[in-house]
């Protein structure tokens, strides 16, 4: 009776047993591992606090273990991840019973221990490209959250709540315009003194590249 190949580990007890097939294996200290196997059971009944059929690991303080199988089960994969700490070897058990007895039949096949490794994610820091005025105009006219045209007029399009932006690049410098976008309440435009700006900070609503594109468009508003 095997899942793959011709043979599997098999334990059977009619009277009740707490036993295992086991092996010791070298491991890397302070590393993460995953232990897995395919387990099959037939009429497996725990007794006296026994858990069933499972895998467990000796030589580690918390004795990591997989979920136990009881009753009758077709082949089912069980697995557990654990840290080796300072240990350089561990004992792997195909455990029958465990902390008590069990009766019935259990099989283990395709037992595998593998070290878990993580590849570092390379984060490419991409500097913001030069702003695209055409994309910025589209953001100004159509962005559903920024909603620039709800308050500002540019090119005869927009609302009258905030100051008109026609010729803004001729009247104000880039730093002023950028500050007005990211900190709209810091400097109030002429004619709107004493009012609280309803404009949300664009640095929160827009991605960095979108902000660059919007700035590029506003800097074209000179005529």
Instruction: Report whether 59 contacts 87 (CB < 8 A).
Output: yes
Using DSSP's 3-state secondary structure scheme, residue 98 falls into coil
Q: Which of 1-10, 16-25, 205-214 has the lowest mean pLDDT?
A: 205-214
Q: How far apart are CA 200 and CA 214, in angstroms?
A: 15
Closest CA to 46 of 94, 106, 91, 107: 106
User: Does domain 133-218 correspond to CATH entry 3.90.1640.10?
Assistant: no
Q: What is the pLDDT of residue 122?
A: 52
Q: How many helices (H) and strands (E) does the chain have?
A: 5, 9
φ, ψ of residue 86 in degrees (nearest 5): -90, 0
Two tokens at 171?
């009247």
CATH of domain 9-115: 2.60.120.260
Predicted confidence (pLDDT) at residue 81 exceeds the cutoff of 90: yes
Averaged pLDDT score across all residues of the chain: 89
Identify the residue with better confidence: 180 or 188.
Answer: 180
Is 104 or 163 the better-scoring residue by pLDDT?
104
Name the residue with higher pLDDT: 64 or 164: 64
Per-residue confidence at 67, pLDDT binned at 50, 70, 90? very high
Predicted pLDDT at 123:
47
| CA atoms lying within 13 Å on the CB side of residue 57 | 28
pLDDT tens track for 86-118? 999 999 999 999 999 999 999 999 999 999 987
Tell me the pTM: 0.55
171-183 mean pLDDT: 88
Query: What CA–CA distance (Å, rounded) separates 85 from 213?
Result: 51
Distance CA(180)–CA(199), nearest Å, equals 9
What residue segments make up the domains of the chain, in order of their start?
A: 9-115, 133-218
Tokens 């136990």 found at: 68
């Amino acid at each position: 009776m095997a899942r793959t190949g011709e043979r599997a580990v098999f334990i059977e007890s009619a009277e009740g047993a707490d036993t295992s097939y086991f092996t010791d294996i070298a491991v890397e200290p302070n590393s993460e591992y995953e232990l897995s196997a395919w387990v099959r059971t037939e009429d497996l009944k725990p007794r006296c606090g026994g858990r069933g059929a499972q895998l467990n690991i000796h030589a580690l303080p918390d004795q990591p273990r997989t979920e136990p199988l009881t009753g009758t089960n077709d082949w089912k994969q069980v697995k557990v991840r654990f840290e080796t700490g300072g240990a350089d070897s561990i004992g792997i058990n195909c455990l029958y019973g465990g902390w008590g007895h069990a009766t019935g039949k259990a099989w283990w096949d395709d037992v595998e221990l593998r070290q878990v490794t993580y590849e570092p994610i390379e984060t490419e820091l991409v500097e913001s490209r030069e702003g695209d005025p055409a994309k910025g105009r589209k953001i100004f006219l159509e962005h559903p959250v920024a909603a620039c045209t709800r308050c500002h007029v540019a090119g005869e399009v927009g609302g009258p709540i905030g100051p008109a932006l026609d010729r803004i690049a001729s009247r104000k410098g880039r730093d002023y315009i950028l500050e007005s976008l990211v900190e709209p309440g810091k400097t109030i435009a002429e004619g709107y003194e004493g009012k609280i700006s309803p404009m949300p900070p664009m640095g929160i609503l827009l991605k960095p590249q979108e902000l660059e594109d919007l700035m590029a468009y506003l800097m074209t508003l000179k005529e």
